Amino acid sequence: MAITNTRKKIASLCPDSLNEVQLYAVPSDCEIDAVLRINNITNDLSTYSIYHCSAGQGDNPANISDIIAKDVYIDGLGNPPHEYSIHAGPTETIRVKSGTVSGLIFHLSGNVKKVSS
What is the helix (H) or strand (E) element at residue 109, kind and residue range?
strand 104-114
Q: Which residue has the higher pLDDT, 75 or 5?
A: 75
C-alpha distances in Å from residue 24, one per residue of 28, 60, 74:
12, 12, 22
Domain ranges (residues) in the chain: 21-114
Q: What is the DSSP string of 61-97?
A: PPPGGGEEEEEEEE--TTSPPEEEEEEE-TT-EEEEE
13-55 confidence digits (pLDDT tens): 999 999 999 999 999 999 999 999 999 999 999 999 999 999 9
User: Helix, strand, coil shares of the chain as percentages rounded to 5?
Assistant: 5, 55, 45
